[in-house]
Amino acid sequence: MNDVTNPPPRVEVESKPESKPADGKLMGSYPAENYPTRSIAELLGPGKTRANLNFPDVRNDYELDNALVGQTVTTNGCIVQSNWLPGPVISAGGGWSTSSYIKPIAAYLAYIKKDTVPSGVQESYSLSKKKGFTRQFTTSASVTSSVSAGIFGCEASLEVTTGFSYSETINEETTETWTRTLTGPQDYWTFQPVIVYAHRVAKGLFERDANWAKLPRYVSGNIGFVFVPVYRNTPSVIDREIGYLSLNDVVSYLSNEAWGRW
């Protein structure tokens, strides 16, 4: 039985090193998207690699949408510049607990739907958008609660937000509708930004909690980073296909070439 008058010390999480740790390791992977994605070489051209990705820096919602939303979109992602915020204290077995920190670190584009408008038509169309965690982030209620609490702190204090309202927790993606006037004959593609949050915890959490251990993560020394994808409420529709990166490629980029930028 734990002595509540003298509880075990909480593990305090260290700050993120600016240079990429030599002992760092990306562990696990996310399920594949349920829509076609392209490799970096397919998207950028033969011989191109992660180092050739052009993710601009953004600091607020306006800059994020300016980079990723609308007819002028020219990139598939961006790096978010923001401060670490304290997240919830996360407890595991035996009275062990860790402090946590969280912030948005990037955003990328996800495909939603293709619509074909017939010739001679110009009318308001009901289009789809997504809300919540992308389907690749499926976890337990306890992990969802901890991650949601951290993201809600970001929503209240930082300049990059999801743009959605939530009651208690963020859940796996659901589909909502929005309207836009479209003119035919034309194919239209709807896409939507996904914000990637980094949740920083002590490595020991993955050793003590099976639900956290199932998540893809980057681990270095006694620090672990869980990357959490959440839809932003700024869907867009354009008259051309742009191609989409996988979440796994985005996380690999953030864990390697873009490490010092977030």
Collect all residues with Cβ–Cβ distance below 8 Å to 248 and sequence separation of at least 6.
29, 30
156 domain residue, yes or no? yes
Q: What is the pLDDT of residue 93?
A: 81
Range of the domain at 148: 25-110+131-174+191-261
153 domain residue, yes or no? yes
pLDDT band at 144 (very low <50, low <70, confident <90, very high): very high
Tell which residue, 28, 11, 161, 30, has the closest CA to residue 85.
161
Distance CA 247, CA 136 (A): 8
104 domain residue, yes or no? yes
Structural tokens at position 10: 């909480």
The pairing of beta strand 77-80 with beta strand 57-58: parallel
| Beta-carbon count within 10 A of 7 CB | 11
7 domain residue, yes or no? no
Tell which residue, 222, 209, 201, has the closest CA to residue 93.
209
Span 13-50, pLDDT tens digits: 877 877 777 789 999 999 999 999 999 999 999 999 99
Backbone angles phi, psi at 251, to 5 degrees: -65, -40
29 domain residue, yes or no? yes
Q: What is the pLDDT of residue 158?
A: 98
3 domain residue, yes or no? no
Alpha helices in 104-235 (DSSP H): 141-157, 204-208, 210-213
Number of domains in the chain: 1
pLDDT above 80: residue 253: yes
Q: Global pTM?
A: 0.94
The CA distances from residue 215 to 30, 34, 81, 153, 160, in Å, are 8, 19, 24, 22, 24
The CA distances from residue 148 to 27, 35, 58, 199, 227, in Å, are 22, 26, 23, 10, 13
1 domain residue, yes or no? no
Span 111-137, pLDDT tens digits: 999 999 999 889 899 999 999 999 999
pLDDT above 70: residue 2: no
6 domain residue, yes or no? no
Q: What is the pLDDT of residue 189?
A: 95
Tell which residue, 96, 103, 127, has the closest CA to residue 114.
127
Residues of the chain with pLDDT > 70, as a percent, come to: 96
